[in-house]
Structure 1
């Protein structure tokens, strides 16, 4: 059976800008939670999915994927833990699925990314080491990494994400007709706009970042 790139859904952040009573990823968005819709779109792409999260969200994650596909990390700020953050989460997800053709990084608070966008980014990883989705010239998610970058990715730490890896290797932006690649849920207002169906993508940039 042919192996496919794995979608790594990042759900280990605190969501500190969201001032609701519950974590932003647990908030209702239609019939699912924000995280549930993000994971659902990833599953609908037909690609394997791994969710990297913390204990408070492990149960929510396991509603959508098998427990073996949930990587549970210490919470950011936990006593005795240092170097946690987005970079560490990416490294954990990659390390959990080492023998695959690549990885697509998708933040858990981006529930509007279409399954077809994930498939399109995955398809280009056979030709390029780094591929990111973009809409009207603006860089978004997912960001895909080919298998050759495994050693770089598993050494990531802290909250910088994979910026240094992206800067170090040739990358290509894939233009998609999917404004969801730019839409995340950072604040209560973001969530309200999504619920109302009124969240529009930012205007097009003059140059590709």
Structure 2
């Protein structure tokens, strides 16, 4: 087990999705919508991740100027994926190529899941520090996000393709599940009604 203070874990925020189900017309981008907390979806997700993992990076699409501005205001570094439309794996690989090679682990979070609690992120980190190599939170037996990976899995992560992202690895390698009392690990912003789920938002 590595010393807690010496353990370096990077957070990766996937924020390059198109969000077409939220508004097929493309006029309303879901990550810029306001939650009951008063924050936008992207601001909530980014600030939670950065607080748990000061070394974090987001990945965005090249035309998402307002998202880039929001991340700049939050002082969260970001990189641009020019092929985000070809699948989530492209965004993940783009971000992974920006992080240092000598870190211990990465935690992959989704920008459209702003209701994940900060303590859940810290539980994932603690499990990785304790020696777990792939960590998935569960709520009432159901797996959710974010997911943590020891850096030994970097080659496998870099080889991912398509829109399934890192889920492929969860079906191939041993997974440590941690039970949490956080329904937010299962809830994303998919349609406008998801924005007003105040029970999940904790308001």
Question: Is the pair's TM-score, using the shorter chain for normalization, greater than 0.5?
Answer: yes
- The reply to whether residue 58 of structure 1 matches residue 58 of structure 2 is no
Contact 1:190-1:199 at 8 Å conserved across structures:
no
C-alpha distance 64-75 of structure 1, shift in aligned 2 (>3 A): farther
**Which of 168, 190, 194 is the aligned partner of 1:190?**
194
What is the CA distance between 1:173 and its match in structure 2? 1.0
Alignment of 1:1-209 (within 5 A): 2-19=6-23, 21-29=27-35, 30-55=37-62, 56=64, 57-66=67-76, 69-74=77-82, 76-77=84-85, 84-97=86-99, 98-126=101-129, 127-191=131-195, 193-194=196-197, 197-199=198-200
Contact 1:4-1:47 at 8 Å conserved across structures:
no
Instruction: For structure 2, list consecutive stretches of 5 or more residues without a partner in the other structure.
Output: none
Report SS of the residue matched to 1:96: coil
TM-score by length of 1: 0.83
TM-score by length of 2: 0.85
CA distance in 2, matches of 1:199, 1:119: 19
What is the CA distance between 1:75 and its match in structure 2? 5.2
CA distance in 2, matches of 1:185, 1:146: 28
Deviates more, 1:178-187 or 1:37-46: 37-46
Contact 1:128-1:170 at 8 Å conserved across structures:
no
Question: How many positions carry a matched residue from both structures?
Answer: 189
Instruction: For structure 1, list consecutive stretches of 5 or more residues without a partner in the other structure.
Output: 78-83, 201-209
Over the residues paired in the alignment, what is the CA RMSD in angstroms? Answer: 1.9
What is the CA distance between 1:65 and its match in structure 2? 2.5
Report SS of the residue matched to 2:146: strand
Report SS of the residue matched to 1:160: coil
Query: Residues 46-72 of structure 1, C-alpha deviation per residue, up to 9 Å, x if partnerless?
Result: 442111111312222222134xx2011
